[in-house]
């Protein structure tokens, strides 16, 4: 899984986790399975109906439209997800981490013909592997990508973080915080990064600064990280 940094309008650097090629292929297979099951059931229902030639054409159009528009409809109305993407905890976002507009979804959907249909998806796979931001051709044109929302379990996900030798804290005021406070700050911070909620990061930094009675000059994200590290420094002494 590749990481890439984006710079928001508020000049906040956000690390995004690109969805792995394996997750994207599995998500595609889940969606394909759903489409196949839907098509089989629809055909069986058609076989049991008596209709003239025009009626059959109308029926084929009615059952075919959901298949044709499957990805466009789901991603538009489900926040960048399809059932397959939801199952693998991945979703489509803009490169700045925000939610795409309908035009973004439309562009990447239209280019599925080149990415997926031609070459059985090989073009998409090669492009994603070479791009570095998890983008196929449709994503490049739409300025979108697919990120993973899976939570990484590491030392950074716990309350304690590793403090380097010779570390000098910047905000001694963090001692007024409790373990629960810092854990909440970390969780809100992590969730905001994953969902691309830059406004939440800013609000969190401002609220934390207010509680500590300090003013920060660094970027909101850097300030939150500093607070967490300073807290761990003092609690580990």
- Residue spans per domain, the chain: 3-148, 155-235
Query: Is it the case that residue 58 has pLDDT exceeding 90?
Result: no
Tell me the pLDDT tens digit for each residue of 218-227: 999 999 989 9
Alpha carbons 59 and 45: distance in angstroms, whole number? 10
The CB-side HSE value for 119 (13 A sphere, CA atoms) comes to 11
CA distances (Å), 199 to each of 10, 107, 202, in order?
9, 27, 5
Tell me the pLDDT tens digit for each residue of 25-54: 999 999 999 999 999 988 887 776 776 777
Tell me the pLDDT tens digit for each residue of 13-22: 455 678 889 9
**DSSP 3-state of 147:** strand
Report which DSSP code applies to 117.
I
Alpha carbons 68 and 188: distance in angstroms, whole number? 38
Between CA 17 and CA 133, with CA 96 as vertex, the angle to 5 degrees is 40
pTM above 0.75, yes or no: no
Report which DSSP code applies to 169.
-
CA distances (Å), 28 to each of 141, 207, 225, 228, in order?
20, 41, 36, 39
- Token pair of 47 as six digits: 């076989």
Tell me the pLDDT tens digit for each residue of 149-194: 875 544 444 445 566 777 788 998 888 888 888 888 888 888 888 8
Residue 230 CA to its chain's centroid (Å): 29
Instruction: Give residue 80's region: left, alpha or beta (phi > 0; psi -120 to 50).
Output: left
Q: What per-residue confidence (pLDDT) applies to 121?
A: 82
> In this structure, are residues 223 and 216 in contact, taking their beta carbons and an 8 Å threshold?
yes
Nearest Cα neighbor of 3 from 172, 174, 145 is: 145
């Amino acid at each position: 899984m590749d990481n890439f940094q984006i710079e928001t309008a508020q000049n906040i650097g956000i690390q995004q986790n690109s969805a792995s090629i394996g997750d994207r292929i599995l998500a595609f297979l889940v969606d394909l399975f759903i489409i196949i099951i839907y098509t089989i059931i629809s055909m069986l229902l058609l076989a049991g109906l008596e209709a003239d030639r025009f009626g059959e054409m109308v029926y084929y159009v009615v059952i075919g439209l959901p298949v044709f528009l499957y990805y466009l409809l789901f991603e538009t109305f489900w926040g960048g997800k399809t059932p397959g993407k939801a199952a693998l905890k991945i979703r489509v976002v803009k490169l700045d981490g925000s939610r795409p507009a309908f035009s973004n979804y439309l562009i990447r959907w239209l280019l599925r013909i080149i990415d997926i249909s031609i070459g059985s998806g090989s073009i998409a796979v090669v492009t994603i592997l070479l791009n570095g931001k998890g983008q196929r051709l449709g994503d490049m044109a739409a300025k979108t990508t697919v990120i993973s929302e899976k939570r990484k379990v590491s030392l950074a996900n716990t309350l304690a973080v590793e403090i380097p030798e010779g570390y000098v804290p910047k905000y001694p005021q963090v001692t007024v915080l409790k373990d629960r406070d810092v854990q909440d700050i970390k969780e809100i911070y992590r969730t905001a990064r994953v969902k691309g909620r830059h406004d939440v990061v800013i609000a969190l930094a401002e609220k934390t600064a207010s509680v500590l009675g300090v003013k920060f000059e660094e970027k909101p994200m850097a300030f939150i990280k500093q607070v967490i590290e300073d807290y761990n420094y003092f609690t580990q002494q």
